Each structure stands twice: as structure tokens, then as C-alpha cells.
Chains A and B, each alone.
Chain A
Amino acid sequence: AQSVTQLGSHVSVSEGALVLLRCNYSSSVPPYLFWYVQYPNQGLQLLLKYTSAATLVKGINGFEAEFKKSETSFHLTKPSAHMSDAAEYFCAVTSSYKLIFGSGTRLLVRP
């Protein structure tokens, strides 16, 4: 069965620094991969998705992710962190028709 592993339950960066949130997947078939963001007391918002087209996927709010089959990774990056990026980020993979989530990474942005 497909699964995703997010490395690091908490990531802390300074405002203006590079954001890197790690996600590795396990899949026996070409996966569809997603990144979602959840702000405090809010629902989930789709940041970006990979559906076997371009390996570099650009999303909203300046985020992007690169699908690397050789590394089974789909890490999320943003060149310069803003205070407003502080939130919980979830990587997810489709398994048949279902969406399976990683454990989440809380991004903290220091002034």
C-alpha cells in the first residue's frame, strides 16, 4: 500500500530563510502526490499536486515541490519564509482512490 513519511515533526526557520519540508513516499505504482497546509483552527488548503506531468510543481504562496523518483521524494520548498507561512504542512499520496496523509510537519518562522 502507498504511504508517505514526513521527516521532522517540527521545522524552525528564520524569516527570509529557505523553507525545506521533507516527504518520502512508498508506492508500487506511479503516485499522485500532494502538499496541503493547515493554518490554526482552519481546514486544509491544497498547496500543490504532482500528477505525473512536470516533475517540478509550482504551487500557491511561492511554494514548489520536486518529484524525484530515484529518491522517492517530494520535498516542499520556498525560497524565503514569511511569518504568515507558520502552519502545519501535510504530504499525502493517493492509494487507489483514497488520500493517505503523512504525520505532518509544523513550520515555525522566527522573526
Chain B
Amino acid sequence: SAVISQKPSRDICQRGTSLTIQCQVDSQVTMMFWYRQQPGQSLTLIATANQGSEATYESGFVIDKFPISRPNLTFSTLTVSNMSPEDSSIYLCSVEDRGYTFGSGTRLTVV
């Protein structure tokens, strides 16, 4: 199955700033998915990223807050913009590869 490298693994950020999270896959994949896991909660899909088109956002998530890039079939970034403490979560990327494979996650703390 695919191997995903996600970074950074964790970060502590000041409110009002932005953080960009990167995911690199070791094979070409059509769709990449970005999830948020708030403290003690399950995973919620933020958006689906296809190469060459704009990401598709789920209800409650907007491009201005979570801009996504997908420049090629092995790479994607998620930016968390204008952060507030409520954005403190684990963010994970995922690909569908004979079962959905997940990156190790980015643990974000906003202070």
C-alpha cells in the first residue's frame, strides 16, 4: 500500500498566523483527502483534493480558511489560515489505495 510522509508532525503557532501542512505520497494517486481530528473526537473530512482542479470542500469548511494545493499526483498541501485556538487539532491526509492509508498526522496547537 501507499506510504505517506506528512510534515510537520507537530507545531505550536500563534493565533492569527497560518500553517502549511505537506503530504507526499510514494505513488501517484488520483484523490487525496484532508481530515481534522479535534481533541477527543473522531475524524471529519475537510476536503478532497484532485490534481488539476480546485479542491472539493465539505459542509462547514471553506477555501479561505483551509486553502489546498495539489500540484501533482504525489503531493498536496493544506494551509490552516488565520488560526485561532479552536483550530487546535490533529490534521491528517489520506489516499485511497486498497483501503484508505493515512499520514501520521500533524498535531497543531494554537496559542
- Name A residues whose Cβ lies closer than 8 Å to a Cβ of B: 34, 36, 41-44, 46, 49, 90, 92, 97-104
Contacts and interface: CB of A to CB of B under 8 A. Distances in A.
Nearest to B37: A38
Contacts, number: 41
Contacts of B31: 97
Determine the interface band of chain B, counting residues with CB < 8 A from chain A: 10 to 19
A92 B43 CA distance: 10
Interface stretch (B61-69, B71-79, B100-108): B100-108
Given A43-B104, A43-B105, A99-B45, 20 more contacts: A41-B107, A42-B105, A43-B92, A44-B43, A44-B102, A46-B99, A46-B100, A46-B101, A49-B99, A92-B100, A97-B31, A97-B48, A97-B96, A98-B45, A99-B94, A101-B42, A101-B43, A103-B41, A103-B42, A104-B41
Given A43-B92, A43-B105, A44-B92, A99 B100 contact: yes
Contact of A98 (B33, B92, B105): B33
